[in-house]
Amino acid sequence: MLAETSETTTVDTPSAKKVATRDAYGEALVELGREREDLVVLDADLSGSTRTKGFSKAFPERFFNMGVAEANMMGTAAGLAAMGKTVFASSFAMFAAGKAWEQIRQSICIPQLDVKICASHAGLTVGEDGKSHQMLEDLTIMGVLPHMTVIVPADAVEARGAVRAAADLDGPVYVRLSRAPTPVVLPQEHRFEVGKATTLRDGSDLAIVACGVEVGAALDAAALLTADGIEARVINMATIKPLDEELLRRAAVECGAVLTAEEHQVRGGLGSAVSDLLARTSPVPMDMVGVEDTFGESGRAEELLVRFGLDAASLATRARALMERKS
């Protein structure tokens, strides 16, 4: 069972194995396909990369390759959902969210249809493909849409649970998935619940609220901060919309400072959502770590995280500066 907002899940990351969340997505789809005959999967000619290929082999009669036509794919997904199907539509995040935004708004979100957009290759960790493929704005443009639920799993364990939860949830869902293998930071028994965050490490000096690949970095940063006598609470905010408002307000009150971390533009994503809430309810000193109004670059995933200040050491530096403001 997922930890309730009053509980803490203890994790240990140094020896964690690495698995891409897109791999967990592909495995979860095949499992769901065996359980649910209403499940249909669409892909935009990228099934090998998005990991829908396994579903296509297991259930060819329920898989449709729509070609390089993402807008058309979303329209078709809407039509299938209107006929009672639960539809998963996949492509790279740049194409799924960026190229098809109008169709998602008009054909999926307005009628509140049961379409789950699972977008792989999001964020800087796309790596060598560079700025043309490093989608850093998807949380903004998906999160602003009424009726859209937005999920960013921390690791492969949570990705599997998020896919299952999306299938059971009525209405549109956007799930952001990674290309690069990332540390598995959650225990196998972890169960994802939409709208519920998980406290992975307790602390009362400040709260680090992270999503996606930054959850592992936040845990490592908290370990670094202990050398300075700073005990950081680490919160995995896997659901960006709706936020776990109760947990966030309590963290702000109990810790007195909040640092957010995301592999996304700092404006319009997790940091903006958290600051919007706390400004209205529990204002405390805050800082937001993310990409600062620029595009990505080509390079290895790990190098890019360091380059853009999203590694553990950089998060720890920002946390120390925030503690000085709190004092």
Residue pair 251/234 in contact by the 8 Å Cβ criterion: no
| DSSP structure class, residue 3 | P
Whether 70 sits among the annotated catalytic residues: the reply is: yes
For 135-182, the DSSP string reads: B-SHHHHHHTSTT-EEE--SSHHHHHHHHHHHHHSSS-EEEE--SS-E
Task: Give the angle 127-290-124 at the CA atoms, nearest 5°.
Answer: 10
Q: If we measure between CA atoms, which residue out of 282, 281, 291 comes closest to residue 260?
A: 291
Question: Of 27, 31, 37, 70, which residue is the catalytic one?
Answer: 70
Helices (H), the chain: 21-35, 47-50, 53-58, 70-82, 93, 101-103, 138-143, 156-168, 214-225, 245-255, 270-281, 301-307, 312-326
Tell me which residues are annotated as active site.
70
